[in-house]
């Protein structure tokens, strides 16, 4: 259900959820000062309460008010990357609803780079908690139409056009003076290290998994049909029988997704392609493991694909 800015604001303040556009994916937003709105995020998405939410704000000052430990590293990265696809984890302020943080003592915060959502956030106090606007574990939405389809038109949505980046934000935190990326995305460890170095901070930046970030389950982002990772030399005719035996069903209309050579183009197309293949009537997706998959710029894309897959590399 398409709404305008004023209707979206009124709905949020009234304890409803609203689909909001960002440069990464569309989010399912609830006002952080409404316990009803926050809990409605979980019930609408059918999301377990152990998976924390990210709070979206429009200024660094608002971000600081949500934390008790805003370090120089946080400030440098926020100034350099916001508005943008980076979520920063920090110790939460006492007033933050424990449902937002899944009972943890930290909160993820970012300023999204989308003019419509920034305008919305500027007229709402505190901030808006928003995971991706899809059912739990399913493919994230990158357009108004995706959100409409996911919730059968029953969720109010701000239409901000297609998402520019197409996969969720990088999630990073500070531990013992080091920066750890818990969910890869547009901002790689190399990019963050370079930003910090430019500001005189010689900080180690690496990757780790942690419950403080969303998207840590083994299976996530999954399309409605099976997704199989294959190597470049494989042909459908050679592997069809083996796959059908594993699934105990026949597949008659496979789709093949070969990533664009540019990682930004690939991330922009990833979820759109997954959904399009379903809409076009395909019954299985074959995704070719490109030779660049191990390179850092592809880390976010392959993180999503490895969690979205039904079957591993064969």
Strands 156-157 and 18-20: parallel
Tens digits of per-residue pLDDT, 69-105? 999 999 999 999 999 999 999 999 999 999 999 999 9
* pLDDT for 312: 64
The pLDDT score that the predictor gives to residue 307 is 92
Mean pLDDT of 114-141: 96
Alpha helices in the chain (DSSP H): 5-13, 35-45, 60-65, 72-81, 98-101, 115-122, 144-150, 189-198, 236-247, 263-279, 299-308
Pairing of strands 254-257, 284-288: parallel
pLDDT in tens, 197-232: 999 999 999 999 877 767 666 678 999 999 999 988
Distance of alpha carbon 60 from alpha carbon 46, whole angstroms? 31
The predicted structure's pLDDT at residue 297: 94
CA 45 to mean position of chain CA atoms: 14
Give Cα separations from 128 to 53, 114, 115, 199, 239 (angstroms).
10, 14, 15, 30, 46
Across 117-215, the runs of DSSP E, i.e. the strands, are 128-129, 156-157, 170-175, 178-183, 205-207
- Closest by CA to 9, choosing from 28, 31, 35, is 31
Instruction: Return left, alpha or beta for 161; rule: phi > 0 is left, psi -120 to 50 is alpha, else beta.
Output: left
- Percentage of the chain lying above the pLDDT 70 cut: 97
Q: Look at residue 22 in the predicted model and tell me its pLDDT.
A: 98
Characterise 37 by phi-psi region: left (phi > 0), alpha (psi -120 to 50), beta (else).
alpha
Residue ranges of domains in the chain, CATH in brackets? 5-207 (3.90.870.10), 227-308 (no CATH)
Q: What is the CA radius of gyration of the chain?
A: 19
**What is the tens place of the pLDDT at every residue in 157-190?**
999 999 999 999 999 999 999 999 999 999 999 9
- Percent of the chain at pLDDT > 90 equals 87
pLDDT at 260 over 80: yes
Q: What is the pLDDT of residue 49?
A: 85
Question: Is pLDDT above 90 for 110?
Answer: yes
Q: What is the pLDDT of residues 16-75, one digit of tens each?
A: 999 999 999 999 999 999 999 999 999 999 988 888 999 999 999 999 999 999 999 999
* Per-residue pLDDT, 313: 58
Helices (H), 164-262: 189-198, 236-247
Q: Mean pLDDT across the stretch 245-266?
A: 94
- How far apart CA 77 and CA 5 sit, in angstroms, is 29
The candidate with the shortest Cα–Cα distance to 291, out of 312, 263, 271, is: 263
Q: How many CB atoms lie within 10 A of CB 94?
A: 5
Give residue 218's pLDDT: 66
């Amino acid at each position: 259900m398409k709404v305008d800015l004023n209707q979206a604001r009124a709905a949020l303040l009234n304890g409803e959820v609203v689909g909001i556009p960002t440069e990464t994916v569309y989010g399912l937003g609830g006002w952080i000062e409404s316990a009803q709105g926050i809990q409605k995020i979980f019930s609408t998405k059918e999301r377990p309460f152990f998976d924390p939410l990210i709070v979206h704000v429009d200024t660094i000052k608002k971000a600081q008010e949500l934390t008790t430990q805003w370090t120089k590293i946080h400030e440098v990265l926020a100034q350099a990357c916001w508005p943008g696809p980076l979520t920063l984890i920090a110790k939460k302020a006492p007033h933050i609803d424990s449902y937002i943080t899944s009972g943890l003592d930290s909160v993820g915060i970012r300023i999204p780079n989308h003019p419509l959502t920034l305008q919305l956030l500027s007229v709402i106090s505190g901030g808006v908690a928003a995971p991706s606007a899809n059912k739990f574990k399913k493919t994230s939405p990158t357009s108004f139409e995706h959100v409409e389809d996911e919730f059968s038109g029953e969720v109010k949505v701000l239409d901000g056009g297609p998402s520019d980046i197409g996969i969720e934000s990088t999630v990073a935190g500070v531990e013992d003076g080091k920066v750890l990326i818990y969910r890869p995305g547009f901002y790689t460890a190399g990019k963050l290290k370079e930003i910090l170095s430019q500001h005189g901070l010689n900080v180690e930046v690496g990757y780790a998994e942690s419950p403080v970030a969303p998207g840590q389950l083994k299976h996530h982002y999954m399309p409605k049909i099976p997704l199989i990772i294959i190597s470049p030399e494989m042909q459908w005719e050679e592997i069809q029988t083996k796959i059908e035996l594993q699934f105990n069903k026949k597949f008659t209309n496979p789709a093949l997704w070969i990533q664009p050579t540019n990682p930004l183009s690939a991330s922009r197309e990833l979820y759109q392609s997954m959904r399009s293949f379903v809409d076009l009537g395909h019954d299985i997706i074959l995704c070719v493991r490109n030779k660049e998959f191990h390179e850092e710029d592809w880390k976010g894309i392959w993180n999503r694909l490895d969690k979205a897959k039904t079957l591993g590399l064969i």
